[in-house]
Structure formats: structure tokens, C-alpha cells
Chains A and B, each alone.
Chain A
């Protein structure tokens, strides 16, 4: 299981773009990179997932360099409701299970 390292916390203001980088130096060939968002007293929610290069959906973009040893979650124009903890997970769900080890996550605080 690839270990992940993220900044513990980040502050931003409404309307700004926020980039959160995750390091995963020992990522395996079959591993996917998935980001989750968690609000207090709720279960994590899927944000975005990728394997290489760039992935974009309606809420975020995920940038993955060629060596895949890191990834960056980009949240465009954040709002107060984006205040949450963001987790980067790396693993291979295709082998019959996805044993997940959560890192500390990044606490994003969006200010008005």
C-alpha cells in the first residue's frame, strides 16, 4: 500500500483556486489515485480519481505527472462550503479489494 503525504492544513479565500498536493513515492503500477472530501460528522465523499495525466470533472481537476509520485487536486473558485478535510488515497481496487489506509488528510479552511 502506497503511503501518502499531504499538507496538514491550508487556508484560502472565497473565489480563489486551491491546489492540494499529495506525495506517493512508492505508488505501484496498478494503483489509482483517488481524492475524497469529508465534512464533520459525515462519511467521506468521492471527488475525483485518476491514473495519469489530467482528469477533470464538474467539481475539480486532478493533475498527475508522468512519474506518478505525486498528484495535485485543484479546486477552482472555492466557496465557504468547500471547507472540509481532503484525503488522497492510492491503491488498486481491481485486485479484489481496496484496503484503504487513510493519511492525515488536508484541512482546508475557506474564509470569506
Chain B
């Protein structure tokens, strides 16, 4: 089946630094990928839609200058949290639509900002 690989699984960084999270579709091409964040015991919140070869589409209330998304190829999308602060600490998840009208999700990245 289709696999979406997300790295790193967890990251701890100092306040003010930037963190990059990668999302790869391993055995299929994805012109679109989605990025979510999830707080403890809450549902996934869609942050943005990553589009290969064009700008990402951000959901209302999501700062595009803080959460930089790059979809450089048909198999790779990256989310960079710039100048991270403790309130950015969260679980970040990516997904890509694959065959059979299904979404395939990465394993998630736990970000902790000190």
C-alpha cells in the first residue's frame, strides 16, 4: 500500500530557532499534500494545503510567514516552523491523497520548543 514517510518523529529545539519537517510519499506521486497540527486530546486541525510547483494554500488564522511550506517535487513537501516559540509545540502530521480515494498519513512529528 501507499506509504507516507515523515521525519523527524520528534524534535526539541530552543525558542527562536527554525525546525524543518519532511513529508515524503514513498511509492506514489503526490501533487498535493496536507499539513495538520494536533494538540493533546484534540482533533487534527488542517493548517495548509501544499501544492507541487505552486504556493501553498493556508487555512484562516495560520501564519504563512511562520509556517513555511515547500513542495519541491512530486514526492516531497516540507514544513518549516520559523522562529519557533513554546506555543508552537504540538504534534504535526502530513498526509497525501493516494489511490482509491484515500488519504495516507505520515507518522507525525512531535515538536517541543523550550
Contact = CB atoms under 8 A, between A and B. Distances in A.
A50 to B, nearest CB: 10
Q: Which one of A43, A46, A49, A94 has the highest number of Cβ atoms from chain B below 10 Å of its Cβ? A: A43
B25 interface: no
- If over half of A's interface residues share one DSSP class (helix, strand or loop), that class is named, otherwise mixed; here it is loop
Interface string A68-83: 0000000000000000
Interface of A: 32, 34, 36, 41-46, 49, 87, 89, 93-94, 96-105
Contacts, number: 66
B15 to A, nearest CB: 23
Contact of A46 (B46, B104, B106): B104
Given A34-B103, A100-B103, A93 B43 contact: no
15 contacts: A36-B105, A43-B107, A44-B44, A44-B93, A87-B43, A93-B102, A96-B32, A98-B34, A99-B49, A100-B44, A100-B95, A102-B36, A102-B43, A102-B46, A104-B43
B46 A41 contact: no
Q: Which one of B36, B105, B107 has the highest number of Cβ atoms from chain A below 10 Å of its Cβ? A: B105
B87 interface: no
Contacts of A97: 32, 49, 97
